[in-house]
Amino acid sequence: MGYHSRRHLILPEAQSLPIIAELLNQLKGEDHYVYERQSCWYLALGQRASLTVDAAGEQATTITDNGINTTRVKGSPAEYARRFQAAHGGDNLRIYGEAGFHYALCVQDHAYKPGRWPVLNLIVPREELIFCDNGVTVLAEDALRCRQLSDWILSAAAVAKRRGGDARLAHIAELACDQGDYCQRVCQAIEEINDAHYSKVILARVLPLKQSVDMAATLLRGRQANTPVRTFLLRQGDREAVGFCPELVMSVEQDRVSTDTLAGTCVQHQDVARTNALLNHSLSDDKEIVEHVMSVRAAVEEMKGLCQPESVVINDLMSVRQRGNVQHLGSRVSGELGFGKDAWDAFDALFPAITATGVPKRAALSAIARLESSPRELYSGAILWLDGKTHFEAALVLRSAFQDSQQRWLQAGAGVIAQSSPIRELTETQEKLDSIAPYLVFQQKTR
């Protein structure tokens, strides 16, 4: 199983993202993923096979050209993902997907109120377009389709060039920032922390949007202003999301696994002196340092339970990571997978990210389920990218916009510890929302 036709096009002096945005404009409801990693852009079209674990984590449905098969889920969804990867993946095939936040609660057999989005979705695309090094590789099932896709790309490149790389901009609507009861929930979390229920929890708030988002235009506009570690856009049925991921939950290459920890945030201003002053404050602020060290220590413990203990190392400690309008303190922990462990074991152990849940993770998950009224759906979940059998990475879904047939929204959270101030945590959520909100492009209303 694989692609039977391959073609490489040279696109001199062409930027990939405007072309991809134009291609997305021309898609008429077809499912797709866009994924940016290490200066290359992947556009996955359609599905030749898919696996979906429903929002309740109860049923796993596989769809292929041979039909639909649904089974009841027992244990971790990872076991069904392994079977899917073994049956439908391959050395020359990539698998794309996403894991919702509630995936972790399924793994831990923790009760939760399901949302509408699945806890796991994986697809093997019918076709792939890979933009890299001023060219694009077209992968399709036959030569005719390969030529059609090539013509489509060249046409989109011509349109993007005429537009000068600009997106189809609608008006940017004003966003009503409803603070709601966020400060009250932070106060409740601080009380629980002081009562030793847990040490840290990430509390999020939801910002509803009144209009539908133009995902392709937002991808183009938002990426020009952000510096993510990964970028994504997806459309799967009525579910759509676009985002600029600040960190990787995990990456496994061969048997080497690594995880990033970003904790501690300050705003980046045009005034360099002011930015440096805020950064120096973060590097010396007790709350920021305690929050970060707490997360790194928890990451090391998780990795020791997953890896050969003597192999676990902190490769990077409290370096500054630029992520659009904010800067974070970041660390990386890595190690060699333990004997008999695979990438799905690593995902089950490390997901969701400590920086999206808290410390200890299980108690923080319980607190989130209790203190947050809205399901997180894909927010603080992960975009999954599997390249053959040797490379698996999960990018943390933050700084993102979401929509489906019923609602449209943004979401942002902040880390609450004993030293937290409710007003400061509320301000931090707004700073993070400002990484995505100003770049939203809304669909024009038809008359």
Q: Give catalytic residue positions.
A: 247
Nearest residue to 315 (alpha-carbon basis) of 292, 335, 332: 332
Question: Within its chain, how far is the Cα of 292 from the centroid?
Answer: 21
> Does residue 352 have a cis peptide bond before it, meaning omega lies within 30 degrees of 0?
yes
> Does residue 360 have a cis peptide bond before it, meaning omega lies within 30 degrees of 0?
yes
Terminal Cα distance for the chain, rounded: 47
Q: Determine contact, residues 237/98, Cβ cutoff 8 Å.
A: no
Question: Within its chain, how far is the Cα of 103 from the centroid?
Answer: 14
Q: Determine contact, residues 112/369, Cβ cutoff 8 Å.
A: yes
Neighbours of 409 (CB within 10 A): 17
223 to 17, 81, 111, 151, 348: CA distances (angstroms): 9, 31, 37, 26, 30
Q: Determine contact, residues 80/51, Cβ cutoff 8 Å.
A: yes
Handedness of CA 180, 183, 189, 195 (dihedral sign): negative
Question: Which residue in this structure is represented by tokens 């011509």?
Answer: 158
363 phi/psi in degrees, rounded to 5 = -65, -35
Q: Determine contact, residues 417/199, Cβ cutoff 8 Å.
A: yes
Question: Within its chain, how far is the Cα of 124 from the centroid?
Answer: 18
- As given in the structure block, the two tokens for residue 264 are 């501690």
**Angle in degrees, CA 432, 122, 441, rounded to 5:** 35
- Those residues with Cβ within 8 angstroms of residue 445's Cβ, 6 or more apart along the chain or in another chain: 211
